[in-house]
A and B are shown apart, each in its own frame.
Chain A
Amino acid sequence: MTQTPTLSRRSQSSAPSQPRTSRRRGADARAGYTFLLPWLLGFIALTVGPMISSLYLSFTNYNLFDPPKWIGLDNYATLFQDERFLQSVGVTLSYVVFGTPLKLAAALAIAMLLNSKRKGQGFYRSAFYAPSLIGASVSIAIVWKAMFGDSGPVDEGLSFFGINLGGWVGNPSMTMPMMILLTVWQFGAPMVIFLAGLKQIPADLYEAASMDGAGPVRKFFNITWPMLSPVIFFNLLMETIHAFQIFASAYIISNGEGGPAGSTLFYTLYLYLRGFSDFRMGYASAMAWLLVIVVGIITLIFFKTSKSWVHYSGDSK
């Protein structure tokens, strides 16, 4: 899987050796750009344009109705004196730090279970993948809210075992575990990628290890983990970025307010409230750009540190 980019690059470089006239190449380019045009228009109008305008707005005081007023770095400066902003950073970080590893662990564990050959494999694979297909939808957040509410199934189930937590939805210290459970449950997408990665690991490696008397734990740490590390890295990166952007489920579960007591005031939710409830679009834009910068830095750190633990086949270690 990791070798494909190199292969395709090689095949590309051999292509121009065929003789071609420059006129023909010009026509090719024109056709190429023509086919690219719809995407390019969309990209410029719907992505680049809004990004530039939001960057501009982040330096202004803009209330959606009146023309924006330039205030320089004021928005960025006030951010760090805003207690709710700091709270939203805390909430989001704890979600990313606890939710993402748990989700990936669940995805990897289930992927390994589903990798072996047994009866009804197809059924299990779809069954485990299903939650993430519907998981992002609003309806699931509503169902989740009902399940964890006062005398909902979770509350009833736990009291059967003598654990009386009451409803989770109204309890500020239980909403974060609930949100993390919701994301862990939606492990389907990374699971499918793990599954594809596991299939790439040559079976003879395991056979050889078995012959040398290696147990399952040893096989996992000495074969599966290093062979899978590029896939783990990919999933970790994607899921981390994804987790920073959590919005819909938080919006539904907290009635759009980040409650109870600010315990689900996720970064993007606060950003949205600032922009569309308080009419402070400049402030919200500043928050958005700060998020872009922070996610960029985290991605960079991941790439830098990955050298020590991600192994591509063909590397010496």
Chain B
Amino acid sequence: MVSKSKAKVLPKGVSAADFDKAVREIRAIVGDEHVVVDEDKLAPYRKIMMPVPDDQHELSASVMPDGVEEIQRIMKVANKYRIPVYPVSTGKNLGYGSAAPVQRGQIVMDLRRMNRIIEVDPELCTALVEPGVTYQQLYDYLQEHKLPLWFSCPAPSAIAGPVGNMVDRGVGYTPYGEHFMFSCGMEVVLADGQVLRTGMGAMPNSNTWQVFKWGYGPTLDGMFTQSNYGVVTKMGMWLMPAPPDFRPFCIQYPDEADITKIVEALRPLRIAMVIPNAVVIAHTLWEAPCTPVKRADYYTGPGAIPDEAVKRIQKDHNIGAWNVYAGLYGTKETNDANWKIIEAVAAGTGGKIITQEASKGSQALEYRFDLMKGKPNLGEFGLYNWRGGGGSIWFAPVSQAKGAETLKQMQMAKTILGKYGFDYVGEFIVGWRDMHHVIDLLYDRSNPEQMEKAYACYDELLHTFAKEGYGMYRANTAFAEKVAATYGPVKRDIEKRLKKALDPNNIIAPGRCGISL
């Protein structure tokens, strides 16, 4: 039967007639111009970097509400017609799914219009923002108001935003780099339309929402990260006072096996907070594209780039096999004292220090140093030029901050990537005791063979790592179900029971992080 609906696809199990009725009712809530069904105009939502056909993540429509009340009303319509909505904030979770829904046919709820910086408290160093606020916007705001406050941001900072990144438990590069840890208080619209404020925000007239996380009773914030139990409409975040003295540096190491001694040397400094920020240990092939070095200048043959070519890149461009990025954040006196420790550690481990003064003119170093003080840029997008063709998925297992573990993970990843003809483009981001081992699986999305191989490669990486007990900290929407499965049946059962209790009609992003009824 030919559908009368303009929608190219419909949500699973929803008739064209019901879909059209729902869209009409949603139009009445947000205004005609804020609902899109035309296929052409939905193009920006369709752009993905994952190795699966676009069709798999095709949306039926997008709705762009502005305000909590509109979202509450949309929830009612979605429940009435059992239509799933997929909330996105800035939609720039590139390589993790971008703005496309987790399942075909869902209506994307685009929250980008909700971009108010609601409050900044310079004494308490807190901010309260909406989902559509970008890091660039917040940066400009702080600059314009001459507020000496820093935030931590991920690499695509100029176009991504704090709410979406924190909700996906993303990380950045300042001392506040574990972003969810430095969030404080959320406002969430639930599937039944109720509005929950977490922590102290639940209490009428409270002025401690952005300063004390826990409130009374179970603390609920974590439930609304990497999940689909509600639509986060506001989030508090802590800002860091700009230190009187900031001293970023890079330490380069010549050999891949040096990762062991690097991690052993740095872990104590990180745990003791001599180095307070999220240290990055980046491999040559992460640095090279951001320098920029062209892969084709070193290798044009089949398969992964050989180690010999990687060595030549290191030599020609003064790039380490590993490049450690960290900073000292303090006063001149404290940083002078701690600098001696850094120098001793570098000397003792065979590392070469590059200071900020010596970094001038190096694109890779400069964008890193900017990120370490929360200055937005897009320097890391140089990665996408390495293989070209717009294919990228992040493989991101968690590791202990122990040298032998990192070496083992790096070797495992490199072997599997090589088997499929892909390069090891990886880095470790050091939490206090963990490492986010982040690998960009770069491939040419216009090449069907590479698409197929990239999917199979990620699949093998995921399952091989899981067998060793290594789980992902975050995953793209195409692999959400498979990644969730690696965490075992009990956790999934609890997640499902929570979903049933909070969203019995399964209308908020079913399938997100593998949670669905």
**A and B assemble together:** no
